[in-house]
Amino acid sequence: MGQRLVLNIRNNEEIIANGYYHWSGYSTSSAETALKAFMRIGNQIKDPVIKAIRMLEATGAGSTDSVKEILKEMYPNNRFKTVIDRNTGLIEVTKKGIEESLFWSEGNIYIDIDKKTIIFEVLWELDKEDIDNVMEDITTLPTMENYSMEDAMSLNEFVEFFDKIKNLYDNGKYYFKNSEGIVFGLIA
């Protein structure tokens, strides 16, 4: 994994919009970006696509002129933030654009607006060979009991998870394990 993050906003298991962030696919910065969007999930906007766009805009992402034209046709009474650059986030709403973002992704995050959950996949899951190469003893690693890259978290659970990985990073530690003994590494 590396630097390209895609933050996917889903409704009923379908990605309805996403943001592509170049040079942002690191664990702590990705979690920070996701938290900005996730904190906006409770906004009162009813239309799921508009809600998704506003969540992505809260991260600093914006729409290109071509995406803005599509959005203007779909939502003529709304204004949309213009993209600054691909580092701050490019919003996509078309099937083709979403697929292209996913093609380039090296780290994915999925926020489900209907379930109000998040799946965070911007970590490195170590196999036995990786573990043998980077550490001698995994018993001393901090444990995050129920963490799995496939499991969805509520906002409160994600805030707690973010605090834990930020604390690890700030203390120069880059690995943790879950209750099953699976070792994860921060992408730093």
Domain ranges for the chain, please list them.
5-186
Euclidean distance between CA atoms 183 and 133, whole angstroms: 13
Residue from 188, 180, 187, 114 nearest 150 by CA: 180
For CA atoms 91, 94, 96, 102, the dihedral sign is: positive
**CA dist 172 → 121, 149, 175 (Å):** 21, 22, 10
Strand order, beta sheet including 123-125: 123-125, 183-186, 175-177
Q: What is the pTM of this model?
A: 0.94
pLDDT in tens, the chain (188 residues): 458 999 999 999 999 999 999 999 999 999 999 999 999 998 899 999 999 999 999 999 999 999 999 999 999 999 999 999 999 999 999 999 999 999 999 999 999 999 999 999 999 999 999 998 888 788 899 999 989 999 999 999 999 999 999 999 999 999 999 999 999 999 99
Residue given tokens 């099937």 in the structure block = 95
Euclidean distance between CA atoms 186 and 132, whole angstroms: 17
